[in-house]
A and B are shown apart, each in its own frame.
Chain A
Amino acid sequence: MATNVSAPGGRAASAPLLGHESEPTMFELSVSGRSSYQLRTTGVPATPLDQLVPAEHLSKGTVALAELSERDLVAHFTRLSHRQYSVDLGAYPLGSCTMKYNPKFCDAIAADPGLNTVHPGVPAELAQGWLELLVSLEEKLCVITGMSAATLQPAAGAAGELTGLLLMRAFHQSRRDVRNRVLIPDSAHGTNPASVTLGGYEVTTIPSNDRGLVDLEALKCSLGPDVAGIMLTNPNTVGLFEEEIIEIATAVHDVGGLLYYDGANLNAILGAVRPGDMGFDIVHMNLHKTFATPHGGGGPGAGPVAVSARLEEFLPGPRAVRGANGAYEWQRPAHSIGRVHGWHGNAMVLARALAYIDVHGGDGLTRVAQLAVLNANWLRKRIEKTLPAAYDRVCMHECVLSATKLKEAYGVRGLDVAKALLEEGFHAPTVYFPLIVDEALMFEPTETESPQTLEALAEALERIEQRAIADPDSLHRAPQTTPVSRVDEARAARHLVATEDAASR
């Protein structure tokens, strides 16, 4: 491509990162008598604690934390940060995770004291801005998904799934309809079956066909009056659109079941097709994926759940609504399943997502999906000689490639390729998922990576193939330039050291 003349913006340095030295823990850095805290001068009478609280409640000892100077505290966490890959450092093509660039503007919005110093228990009239924000976000998420109403309480995708299943349960119960099974494709995320169990249902697994899609005939054979619903990701976890979705929806609805949409892959279809129009009754979204709120090293996320009109009365409450007089108020839906969060959900994540949606608008969100799909398809085709796609046709926002060829020819597995990619200055793709693909490598470039970065990623994979031919052992040892090399996971599990105190025992 002509674009190759520009350097890739999304590749982190492949030389050893700054954080190559191991870092002591804060407890090892601790020196008795040091401190860094400073508190307000209050003038409150300093009555000794033992005159305020009876002795039987006071601890005999002292909880030992760490004792650090502020300077050492800063150095410690700054050095830890140097031992950490991040989206801000380089491309993160981790399939199923939508690790796109997180606009700094959205973080700045969330840092506003007008939002983040509001106590969650204040009466609605003191938080009108917050309630308007929640209503606006709910409305826009409903437009994007084609649904009627939503709860913003679930704190992450899995919390959204369980909320959705409890909505499903409440819906059937309200009709005195006893059902005990939920269908899940064999390609589903692990959270789906785990949530089904917690929702009080049994899992029935539906096989995929040789095109990587739900086997419609097998699905029909599994259907019956005891089926509460089906959980689907569309596009599915191999990055393919379930083209028979209308037939699937009809078949499930015909037996009285509901369709649950796992929104993990919503980024692929923004503005192109909506879950509500496909026949879904319940939809969860991962705002930390599709709407670019930062992942925080594994959270916080936010997993709002949108529903069709017939499920609205069951939504968790309280829910922010626009009142008759134009003021915003809290309302508990008529047959609410109850709270699913201690307060109103991960509010600051919700604020970031609304800022992201408003900046993009309908046109921008549509282009987000288009370029996400373009990037995934370009990469799939660009690298097909090295890593062929598991299903060789147009994919959506991610492509599942297979390292079977490298394994058979050189003994180099998908995991080795992933680890070698770390040495190349890229984050690894998702490996060995979905389970139905041998030596799966799932790449999701996202729309925010440039063609130059994708080309550099492809060239890095080609170099890894060359290493597989010339020196496969070096790939088994990879990575060596990262802060640590491959870790002994078996030892971690066999001899659990989950705290400093266990370490010193």
Chain B
Amino acid sequence: MADYLPHTNEEVDSMLGFLGMSSLEQLFDHIPAAVRLSGGLDLAPGQSEPDVADYFSRLTRANKGQSAALTCFAGAGAYDHEVPAVVKMLSSRSEFVTAYTPYQPEVAQGVLQAIFEYQTLVSRLSGLPIANASLYDGATALVEALNMAAGATGRQKMIVSTGVHPHWRQVARTFAAGTGHELVEVPLLDGRTQWESVDLADAAAIVASYPNYLGVLEDLAEAKRWGVEHDALFVVAADPVAAGVLKSAGEWGADVFVAEGQPFGTPLAFGGPYLGLFACRSEQVRRLPGRIVGETVDSNDRRAFVTTLRAREQDIRRERATSNVCTNQTLMAVTAAIQLGWLGTQGLREVATRCAQGAHYLFDEALKIDGVRATSTLPFFREFALRVPKKASDVLRAMCDDGVLGGLSVGELCQGFDPSIDDAENVMLVTVTERRTREQIDHYVDTLRKAVR
């Protein structure tokens, strides 16, 4: 058994003696015997680190889908971006990794200032003035946006475009069971949300995705108009990398911006930990979920940072809090600040542009294959859907044999949730990041041609 416990047997005896006890078990004597566990936990005895590492090596070898084996063209909110050594090393500094929530600002200025910088970056990307210190992921950030809309309007009806990521819609539906929100999903036609096909009266929120989950860039002006007409909050779920060059949520008139922040320095990591980006207009600040860091001064009039507007939070407001969130994804927020610091103004534009260039090059080449078709006539950014003449999951499986993770099957991604596209089983979602070379894309097209034959 590996041992991270410092006490020697002599020290244990001495400490027990100080308490007038003779055994460690005696410390638990006040627990009713009827519920005590006799015989200890039914788990294998502890092993040394190298022994456990051997087990994990076997597990990792069983992950055939890792990047070294398959070139990644899958996205859907989780993207294979460049994360340089400098970001990995800075974000793994143990002062950031092993700190707690900054409840004692005098000894937590490092994390607090990093969050302040992160909030500034999210605010600028979203085009909205207020950003919080992060939420769990994009999906739960959307749930918090809906809760904010309910609080702001006193209404319960949430109009959500089916263009919003299917997992996010599922998460929203799960939590609506508790809040009582009515979720109305608006179908897509040719990749465009058909807002007028549902009854928008009494809406608390109008939620659009930019781009939508099929990669399509919809004109958000119509959604904004409906939001204004029905006095609902306009929520934009955005791709934060695309936000480096596209019109921001704020420019489209959004009241709330939510996004999955994984593209900013966090590895694919089988889906987590990621981080939810959240920004909103100033009038909603008292309804903001989670922590927010503000600038102030210390008693010697030096600049200092501190978590603020605390009266919204669960530990003070309890059952009337704006949210139950406590622990968030601070380390990922710090990582995002470092990654964006590394990219800088030009770097983010460059990454976004290269994603779009690679995606359009692949799209054009793929459409030259017999039987492969586009699913929408509308513009896209870095991700797009292709209709293939066989089951997409079979096509993707065949591509894996040639070392390509060719994307995700829309049918499988939606798992019974409305994909809002015909024959979703035959549609695959493909993405290209700045890490994909022309050679890899050409290879992709060859394997796709072979797989659909």
Contacts and interface: CB of A to CB of B under 8 A. Distances in A.
A103 B4 contact: yes
Contact of A57 (B175, B246, B323, B334): B246
Contact of A344 (B3, B43, B267, B270): B270
B61 to A, nearest CB: 7
Contact of B178 (A114, A199, A483): A199
A320 to B, nearest CB: 11
Contacts of B260: 342
A63 B329 contact: no
A165 to B, nearest CB: 7
B351 A39 contact: yes
Interface string A439-463: 0000000011111000000000000
A301 B98 contact: no
A213 to B, nearest CB: 11
B348 A57 contact: no
A504 to B, nearest CB: 10
B178 A59 contact: no
A46 B357 contact: yes
A361 B349 CA distance: 49
Contact of A492 (B136, B295, B334): B295
Contact of A487 (B244, B304, B346): B304
Contacts of A58: 245-247
A122 B167 CA distance: 15
B41 A85 contact: no
Contacts of B58: 129
A463 B121 CA distance: 44
Nearest to A46: B357
Interface size grouping (class) on chain A: 35 or more
A401 interface: no
A469 B175 CA distance: 53
Contact of B18 (A1, A47, A103, A346): A1
A364 interface: yes
Given A63-B248, A65-B345, A121-B76, A52 B356 contact: yes
Contact of A339 (B3, B46, B139): B139
Nearest to B56: A109
Contacts of A297: 96-97, 99-102, 108, 111, 114, 330-331, 334
A157 B326 contact: yes
A492 B327 contact: no
Contact of B98 (A1, A87, A156, A278): A87
A271 B168 contact: no
Contacts of B37: 146, 271-274, 277
Contacts of A198: 147, 175, 178-179, 323-324
A392 B381 CA distance: 65
A206 interface: no
Contact of B86 (A22, A70, A121, A375): A70
Nearest to A87: B98
Nearest to B139: A342
Given A80-B114, A339-B167, A190 B107 contact: no
A351 B55 CA distance: 12
A401 B12 CA distance: 23
Interface in A280-338: 286, 288, 294-301, 316, 318, 332, 337-338
A230 interface: no
Contacts of B12: 371, 374
A191 B324 contact: yes
22 contacts: A3-B11, A39-B82, A42-B437, A53-B356, A83-B109, A115-B60, A122-B405, A159-B136, A203-B318, A294-B331, A295-B98, A300-B331, A342-B138, A343-B274, A344-B271, A359-B47, A371-B24, A374-B27, A419-B104, A422-B104, A493-B311, A501-B120
Given A63-B243, A121-B76, 6 more contacts: A56-B247, A97-B100, A294-B331, A359-B49, A362-B41, A493-B311
**Which 4 A-B residue pairs are closest in the complex by CB-CB distance?**
A114-B60, A343-B271, A296-B331, A84-B110
